[in-house]
Amino acid sequence: MTAPMTGPDPETIREVLRRLRARQGPFRPGAPLPIIDQVVATVLSQNTSDVNSGRAFARLKERFPSWEQVADAPPDEVADAIRPGGLAAVKARRIQEILAEIERREGRIDLDRLRGLGDEEAEAYLTSLPGVGPKTAACVLVFAMGRPAFPVDTHVHRIVTRLGWVPPGTTAAKAQALLTPLVPPEIRHELHVAFIVHGRTVCRALAPRCGECELRDLCAYGGAVPVSGEG
């Protein structure tokens, strides 16, 4: 009978980050957005590139100076503003549902009250909003609130699966639940960002550059790729 996977130990995780940092240079976290802005920006980031989601967010803010105006606007106008991000009709409906629910609960469209909540309470609040799952909540916690969350997006999911940190077939949500307790809290933000950069440049979905990867000797997938077959 095969023993259950226990995941990577903290020393391995720190070594992975050390190697990625050596390649990528110093970690420079971006300026945090207001909590509500981060919620909307993360919804817009789903199933699209950062460039397209950033363009959609900028157009939304330009078209509607306040979140109250977004909440009250005709859905097709919101969809038109965020069209560069893809799935515009679906995302417009979701954003308006979220804003309406926040206004119902808080009496205004503002989430600054979450700063006074503990990590688990804030996460529970966020995931209780329409369509906000664990990854979106973790992004809000780490990027807007400076909390020690570890979001597992497409890039992170691909990398941790290839490294063998989670069993094959593990969903992103399950991977996040498994790995968050294992990643030292003080490096979760930095490791998340380092993995995203690594996923875009080296550990790509198609034609990963295993031959130039500094994690290859630690990687179940990369170690199985013959040198002659690398992209």
Question: How does DSSP assign 112-128, residue by residue?
Answer: GGGGGS-HHHHHHHHHT
pLDDT one-digit tens code per residue, 154-206: 999 999 999 999 999 999 999 999 999 999 999 999 999 999 999 999 999 99
CA distance 141 to 98: 17
User: What 8-state DSSP symbol labels residue 65?
Assistant: S
Q: Can you tell me the mean pLDDT for 79-108?
A: 96
For the chain, where do the domains classified as CATH 1.10.1670.10 start and end? 10-28+151-222
Closest CA to 157 of 188, 139, 190, 135: 135
Query: Is it true that domain 10-28+151-222 has CATH number 1.10.1670.10?
Result: yes
Residue with tokens 């690594």: 198
35-145: CATH topology is Endonuclease III; domain 1 (1.10.340)
pLDDT in tens, 202-231: 999 999 999 999 999 999 998 877 754 444
From the candidates 61, 91, 135, 174, give the one annotated as an active-site residue.
135
Residues of the chain with CATH 1.10.340.30: 35-145
Q: What is the pLDDT of residues 79-92, one digit of tens each?
A: 999 999 999 999 99
Distance CA 142, CA 196 (A): 15
CB 100 within 8 A of CB 71: yes
Q: How far apart are the first and last CA of the chain?
A: 36
Residue 174 is among the residues annotated as catalytic for this protein: no
CB 93 within 8 A of CB 101: no
23: tokens are 């390649």
